[in-house]
Amino acid sequence: MSKSGTPRIGDLMGDVRALKLIRAWRLAAGPIFGAKAKFHGLQRNAAGEQTLMLDLDDPIWKQELLHQSQHLLELFCTALRAEGFLVSELPVKVSLTPSKSLPFKTGNAQFRRHK
């Protein structure tokens, strides 16, 4: 940020890239996966490859995403290229991060024992 408090263009570039990532994810995921999957961004592994990081709470939707992960990855990479990302910046695989919620919650009425 400049001394006058006005953001400089270099300061804003990270925000622009983040917005482009989110826009590309929404386009690739569509309304169904977009609503079900939590997008955590890209992560570079030790080999320098980018990984698309996602999280889904529902185990059935996790299976569906794993089944369609290659197609979803291709759509995401196409959307990223349209946003100006370089080939070296594109993800090569999808990773599902562990969800913090359990598949069955103890407060669920159907799993409570009746006295």
Confirm if 82 and 41 have CB atoms less than 8 A apart: no
First to last CA, the chain: 63
Question: Residue 105 — very low, low, confident or very high, per pLDDT cuts 50/70/90?
Answer: very low
Residue 99 has a pLDDT of: 54
pLDDT at 110 over 50: no
Q: Is the pTM of this model over 0.85?
A: no
Length in residues, the chain: 115
pLDDT at 106 over 50: no
List CB contacts of 62: < 8 A, sequence separation 6 or more: 56, 96
pLDDT tens by residue, 38-48: 998 899 988 88
- Residue 65 DSSP one-character state: H
pLDDT at 28 over 50: yes
Residue type, 7: P
pLDDT tens by residue, 49-68: 999 999 988 889 999 999 99
